[in-house]
Amino acid sequence: MITVAFLLVLLIVTAVTTVVGGGPTGPVGALALVSGVFILFFCAGIYVAAALGVLGLLAGFALSDRPLYLFIGEVIWIPSVNFVLVAVPLFLLMGELLLRAGLSERLYRALNLWFGKLPGGLLHTNIVSCAIFSAIAGSSVATAATIGSVALPYFERTRYSPRMVLGSLAAGGALGNLIPPGITFIVYGLITETSVGKLYIAAFIPGFVMAGLFMLVILVYALWFGTPVVEERVSWSARFRSLWDLMPTAVLILVVLGTIYAGVATPTEAAALGVLGSLIFAAFARKLTLDVVHASARSTARTTSLIGLIILAGFVLNYVLSSLRLPQALAGMVKELALPAWGIMLIIIGFYLALGTFMEGFSMIITTLPVVFPVVLALGYDPIWFGVIITMLIEIAMISPPDGTVMYVLQGMRIRPGPITDVFVGVTPFVLVYIAGVILMMVFPDIVLWLPRVLR
Amino acid sequence: MRRRLLTLLERLRAANELVGRVMNDAAGWLFVVCALFVSFDVLARKFLGVSSQATVELTGYMLAFGIAWGLCDALTTRAHIRVDVIVNKLPLALKVWAHALALSFLAVLAFFFVWRAWAVALESWEFNAHDSSALRVPLVVPQALWALGITAFFVLTVLMLVEVVILLSLGRRVQVERMLGPRTLQEEADEALEAAGVSRGAGS
């Protein structure tokens, strides 16, 4: 529904602006044609990679008299061996290992001693443990699955509303990619030639602002409706003893994020160290078996391949489009529009929100960035800032009903069964706050840009 | 005749899928090796002042290898991503044709990838090209391995496509749906749970 409404708005805006600013020119017509065919492919359920690649080939045949397809080999070899992209399988591997090594159990128990007393109790623990786990894992699904598997049994004996429990876990999971290190930033950095390290620095404050806003939602909810209070007294010595349980996590964060922020290691190197750290941690936890490593390796390879194929096909399309100079033409046209920059940015944000209700995050950025990014630059926005915004939009996609993997992972973990609509209802306030967060970063871009500027 | 061909194709595809699984495992373990190699390189550089001087190149080749060699298994396990909101709502009779169309597009893409990937490898061979790392790796080696992975993927798409066409001509739609039907969100969720379950089961 959102999609249809949004497309209508977009159509009207385009119609009005073309009337105001003169008729469409050659390259724009071509771009409209390309987009039209693309939408057709999508509706037909073509594999995202095949849709991108074949569209690139077709556009090359139809719109250029040069044999562009002869260069595909080089075009796909270059991203295949990109050192920055190597970080993707390594972060995936790290997440897979941690998921199987049981790190989250101790993390959750320890944090609960600290946050259990606040109004909203365990719900805060959900958000905080997800946020902390996000600082070592680069994926939202891994974060939600890892913390969810530990948290849900805790709620078994309590009277917390299952909607709120599931909603807070989904929201916490959706911090997975935003709080560095995240895989989305690597892919964004690759496509837009932006420094991944800088993106990680920029996402630091927004990540914790979002976690804070989520806790605020819980606080308001708890004060309004009331939540069960933990009766037992927790002594301060127990609290400080619990810090020991946070050690492995703290060490991993230091190894991965610390080395990136200190400028000692590139994201790829930090990811490799993270894998090493996870292996050592799993060994200490007596979980390091051949089976665990094998299952993690296998799953990593599969996910890397499916992301890789989309990236390679995306590069083919990107190559053809830029040979035809289409994105540049579009960027030029948008600049001439009678709309203010923030108006166009709002349209772009609306476009991603609509897309996110039915499309998966990676495909979303790889398909759209080659065209959207030049426009964003032409409007004068900072590429680092936009990287953070687009990652937030992808995270919103992960938890916006009806189509978000994170929500289905949590639904599958429920101990007492219930309808999926519980998750939908529970996550809604958090989705709205997430969108408010995007607007907040738009109005105050310094939340994103301050830290990279200071650390330069 | 068609049935006999179908049996043959099924066997060929099963063989290809097995090869794909082994290739995927190889790719996965290479990533483990890659992580250890990069870690070792970073630590050696910091503490011993030595480095392989070829980390960037070698890990890049590992990535290219990994992407290419995992493609088959991702297709077998129906992991490659499609936008299936509309397709899922179609009646089976139409849905199977959408599957066939999607697969044929994938085969076309794979064909261009294979053709041009081998051209790149061949060119490196002809010009005896080496990378600029300390090891001076002849580029044809990683490029040929990469092209080999894409080739296996292309062969699998073609085998599956022929099989689907025969199945459709025999009216066996359910089989096509089982082979190519998109993974449901439930299946994806189950997979994540299974992984998390390993730790839960072993932990308590």
Q: Does B3 touch chain A (CB under 8 A)?
A: no
Contacts of B61 in chain A (CB under 8 A): 81
> H helices of chain B, where?
2-47, 55-76, 92-126, 140-169, 173-180, 185-203
Q: Does the CB of B39 have a partner CB in chain A at under 8 Å? A: yes
**B1 part of contact set with chain A, CB < 8 Å:** no
Pick from A45, A272, A310: CB nearest B38: A272
Give the one of B46, B83, B112 whose C-beta lies nearest to A359's C-beta. B83
Half-sphere exposure of A320 (CA within 13 A, CB side): 28
pLDDT value of position A27: 64
Q: Which residues of A touch B118 (CB under 8 A)?
A: 73
B19 touches chain A (CB under 8 A): no
Using a CB-CB cut-off of 8 Å, the residues of chain A touching B102 are 44-47, 50
Strand partners for A47: B82
Alpha-carbon distance A300 to nearest alpha carbon in chain B (angstroms) = 6
Residue the block writes with tokens 């022929």: B162
Nearest-Cα residue of chain A relative to residue B115? A73
Neighbours of A36 (CB within 10 A): 10
Cβ-contact B65, B27 below 8 angstroms: yes
Cβ–Cβ pairs < 8 A, chains A and B: 269
Please answer whether residues A361 and A394 qualify as being in contact, where contact means their C-beta atoms are separated by less than 8 angstroms: yes
pLDDT of A13: 58
pLDDT at B123: 94
Q: Are A91 and A196 in contact (CB under 8 A)?
A: no
Whole-angstrom distance, CA of residue A285 vs CA of residue A383: 41
The span from the CA of B151 to the CA of B158, in Å, is: 11
| B189 Cα to chain A: minimum distance (Å) | 4
Distance CA B143, CA B139 (A): 6
Of B34, B113, B142, the CB nearest to A76: B113
User: Does B67 touch chain A if contact means CB atoms closer than 8 Å?
Assistant: yes
Closest CA to A376 of A200, A191, A198, A177: A191
pTM to 2 decimal places = 0.85
Residue A400: its H or E element: none
Strand partners, B130: B138
User: What pLDDT, in 10s, does the model give residues B34-84?
Assistant: 999 999 999 888 888 877 788 899 999 999 999 999 999 999 988 888 877
Closest partner CB to B31 (pick from A69, A269, A297): A297
The nearest CA of chain B is from the CA of A44 a distance in Å of 6
DSSP calls for A49-75: HHHHHHHHHHHHHHH-SS-GGGGHHHH
Q: List chain A pLDDT tens, one digit each, 456 residues.
A: 344 455 555 555 555 555 554 444 556 677 777 778 878 887 888 898 999 899 889 888 888 888 888 999 999 999 999 998 999 999 989 988 888 887 788 888 888 888 877 888 889 999 999 999 898 877 888 888 888 888 888 887 788 888 999 999 999 999 989 998 888 999 999 889 999 999 999 999 999 999 999 999 999 999 988 777 666 677 888 888 888 888 888 899 999 988 888 888 889 999 999 999 999 988 988 889 999 999 999 999 998 998 899 999 989 988 888 888 888 787 777 777 778 889 989 989 988 888 877 777 777 888 888 888 998 998 899 999 999 999 999 999 888 876 777 887 788 778 777 888 889 999 999 999 999 999 999 999 999 999 999 887
**Which residues 163-202 of B are in CB contact (within 8 Å) with A?**
182, 185-186, 188-193, 195-200, 202
Q: The complex's ipTM?
A: 0.91
- A47: helix, strand or coil: strand
Q: What is the pLDDT of residue B198?
A: 43
What does residue B82 show for φ and ψ, rounded to 5 degrees? -125, 155
A80·B98 Cβ contact <8 A:
no
Which residues in chain B have Cβ-Cβ distances shorter than 8 Å to A295? 195, 198
**H or E element: which one contains B79?**
none
Q: Does B127 touch chain A (CB under 8 A)?
A: no
Nearest-CA neighbor of A49 among A442, A362, A424, A281?
A362
Instruction: Check if the beta carbon of residue A62 is closer than 8 Å to that of residue A76.
Output: no
Q: Which residue of B has its CA nearest to A404?
A: B185
For testing the chain B interface, which of A91, A302, A362, A394 should be mutated: the one with the most B CBs within 10 Å?
A302
Are B86 and A409 a contacting pair at CB < 8 A?
no
Identify the DSSP state of A174. T
Q: Do B64 and A273 touch (CB under 8 A)?
A: no
Q: What are the Cα distances from residue B84, in Å, to A14, A140, A307, B168?
A: 28, 22, 17, 20
| Residue B166 banded pLDDT, cuts 50, 70, 90 | very high
Q: Is A11 exposed, middle or buried (0-12, 13-18, 19+ CB in 10 A)?
A: exposed
Please answer yes or no on whether B105 and A43 come within 8 Å at the CB atom: no
Secondary structure (3-state) at A279: helix
